[in-house]
Chain A
C-alpha cells in the first residue's frame, strides 16, 4: 500500500512539473514585454530595463523557472504587474469565492445527477424515465452561462430571491454571500448533473441485471432497499471516473460564470490578468488550475479503492 502511494505521488509530482514547464515555456515564447507594457509608449529604454530588473525579468530562463517553482513553497510568487500586490495573496483571497462555488456545484451535480439517474433506471422505459432523459438532453445542450443568465432573470430580477451578481464577502455578510453563490453554482452544476444522470442511469441499469441483485431480492429486500443497499455503490464506481474528468470542466465553467455573476473569484482574476497582460499572474493562475485538476483526479484514483474492495492494493 505504501509503495503504491509513493508511486502515485511520484507520478503526480512529475505531471505537475511537466505542466509547469509547458506553461512557463508557452508564456516565455509569447511576444510582448510586460515591463514595456506597464511603462507605456512614452517610457525610455533605461526605465524599461530598470523595471525589468526590478521584476526579475532579466535573468536566464532556467533561473526564473526555478525561482517561480520555489515560490509555490515559499509563498513568494512575485508581484502582479497590474495589481502591484503579491500574486500569492491575490490567489488566496480569490479562493474564498471559487472554492465554495466549485464545491457547491460539485455537490449539487452529484446529488441531482445520481438521484435523477437512479430514479430513471428504477423506472426504465416508463414516463418518468423519458421525462428525466429529455431534461438531461436539454441540460447538456444548453450552455451554462446562458442558463445562468436565465436564472438571474427569473430568480434574481423577477422573484428577487437571490442577488443578481456581486459578492459582499464572507466577513461582511455571510448569508448574502452564500445566497450569491447559489445561482451560479446551480448554473455550473446543470450540465454536469445532466451527464452524471445519464451515466448513472446506464450503469445502474447494468448493475440491476447482476446476479447479486437477484440474491438480494431473494433475501427479502424490496426493490428500493436493493437499489439503495446493493446496487447504488456498485453503480457509482464507474461514475467516479467521470466525476474526476468532469471536475476539470467544472473548473473551466467557474471562469465563465464568475464573469457572468460578477463574482470576485479566481476565474474573474484570470480574465482580468489576461486583459492586462499580467503574465506573472497568468502563469501562477494557470498552474493553479492545472494542479487542482490533476490532484482531484489523483484523489478519485484513491477513492476507487474505498468504493471497490476488489481494487484495494496490498490486502489479502
Chain B
C-alpha cells in the first residue's frame, strides 16, 4: 500500500536523506531506527508532505496507488489525517493549548466530511474512551494543560486514529513518557493496530521499542538506510557494523561494573554528509574508500549498505 522509491530530501542542494526505498503492506509495521539526526523524522515529514520550508523531496512516494510527491497541497490535505495520520513526539506541545481536547479530536472528522459536528463530538468522546482516557465526557471539555503527559499522548492517538487512516506514522510516540507509561502506550497502539488493520511506521531511537512493535526494521544513519530486514534478524543477527554498534551500546542493566559501550565519535551533521558512507568516520572497518563512494547494497538475511560487511546468507 505504501511504496517509496529513491526518496531523497535535500536542503539547499545538500542531501539529508538519500535514496530511501521501502514497501509497506496493509497491517504491517515498519520500525525506523536511528540516532537523533539520522533522518527519521525527515522521512516521516516527507511522507506527510510537511517538510519545513527549504527542504525539497524527490523520488517517489506512492500511497494506495497515488503518487504523493508533486501533489498540490489541497490534494494532500484530503489525504492527511484521512488516509495517513501522524502521532508526534511531544505530547506537551503538539496539542493546541487554547482549544478543548474533544474539539481537537472531532475536528478531523468534520473536516474530512465524515460526520456532522454534533456526531463528531460524540465520536470524540468514544475515541477518548477507546484510548483509555478516564471520564471521557468530562475530559473532552478539558484543555491540554489539564491533562497529564500520558493522557495527552492518548488524546493525540485518538486524534490520529479518528478518521481510521490506513497508515499511521508514529514519531517517537513514547520517548517523552516515563517507562511504565511507555509500556501502556505501546500496548494501546498494538491493540488499535489489531482492531483496525492499519499499517504503521514506527519511529524510535530505542531498539527495544522497535523490537516490541515492528515486523520489519530499517536502520537509518546519516540519511542513508544502513540495514533493513525482519526485525528479529536485524536485531538478532545484525551484519552492518553500525547496527552492531547500536546493539552493543544498549545497556544490559545487569551489573554496575559493566561499562556502557557507546559508538565512538559523533553523528555527522545532516547537511554536511560525506559523499560516501556517512558512518565511515566512526566505523571500525572504515577506510579512505568508504567516505568517497556510496556503499553498495548487499542482500541476504538482511539487506545492508556497506563496502566491507556481508549479510548472513538467507
**Residues of B near any A CB (own CB < 8 A):** 48, 50, 73-74, 77-82, 85-86, 88, 90, 93-99, 107-108, 111-112, 143, 145-146, 156, 159-160
Contact = CB atoms under 8 A, between A and B. Distances in A.
Contacts of B50: 214, 217-218
Contacts of A215: 88, 94-96, 156, 159
B94 A211 contact: yes
Given A309-B97, A310-B145, A220 B90 contact: no
A98 B96 CA distance: 39
Contacts, number: 74
Contacts of A212: 93-97
B68 to A, nearest CB: 14
Interface string A216-241: 11111111010001100110010000
Contacts of A216: 96
Contacts of A210: 93
Contacts of A225: 111
B97 A308 contact: yes
Interface string A275-309: 00000000000000000000000000000000111
Nearest to A209: B52
A307 B74 CA distance: 30
B108 A220 contact: yes
A316 interface: yes
A309 B82 CA distance: 29
A219 B94 CA distance: 12
A210 B94 CA distance: 8
How would you classify the secondary structure of chain A's contact residues: helix, strand, loop or mixed?
helix
B202 to A, nearest CB: 16
Query: Residue among A214, A219, A309 with the most chain B CB within 10 A?
Result: A219
Contacts of B78: 220
B143 A310 contact: yes
A interface bracket (residues with beta carbon within 8 Å of B) = 20 to 34
Contacts of B48: 217-218
A308 B99 CA distance: 9
A216 B156 CA distance: 11
Nearest to A312: B143
Given A221-B111, A309-B98, A211 B73 contact: no
A216 B98 CA distance: 13
B73 A218 contact: no
30 contacts: A210-B93, A211-B88, A211-B90, A212-B93, A212-B94, A212-B95, A212-B96, A212-B97, A215-B88, A215-B95, A215-B156, A217-B50, A218-B80, A218-B81, A218-B85, A219-B81, A219-B85, A219-B107, A219-B111, A220-B78, A220-B79, A220-B81, A220-B111, A220-B112, A221-B107, A223-B73, A307-B98, A309-B98, A309-B143, A310-B145
A77 B143 CA distance: 49
Given A215-B96, A218-B81, 7 more contacts: A212-B93, A214-B50, A218-B80, A218-B86, A219-B81, A220-B111, A234-B96
A211 B93 contact: yes
Nearest to B76: A220
Contacts of B111: 219-221, 225
B201 to A, nearest CB: 13
B112 to A, nearest CB: 6
A219 B158 CA distance: 12
B99 A219 contact: no
Contacts of B85: 218-219
B307 to A, nearest CB: 38
B88 A316 contact: no
Contacts of B80: 217-220
A307 B96 CA distance: 13
A234 B107 CA distance: 17
Kindly name the residue among B48, B74, B77, B145 whose own CB sees the greatest number of chain A CB atoms within 10 A.
Answer: B77
A165 to B, nearest CB: 44
B77 A220 contact: yes
Given A218-B48, A220-B80, A222-B77, A316 B146 contact: yes
Contacts of A309: 97-98, 143, 145
A115 to B, nearest CB: 20
B97 A221 contact: no
Nearest to B50: A217
A238 to B, nearest CB: 13
A309 to B, nearest CB: 4
Contact of B82 (A220, A229, A234, A310): A220
A128 B82 CA distance: 33
Contacts of B88: 211, 214-215, 218
A225 B111 CA distance: 10
A308 B74 contact: no
A189 B30 CA distance: 57
Contacts of A219: 80-81, 85, 107-108, 111, 159
Q: Which of A210, A229, A233, A309 has the most CB of B within 10 A?
A: A309
B81 A230 contact: no
Contacts of B159: 215, 219
Contacts of B98: 233-234, 237, 307-309
B96 A230 contact: yes
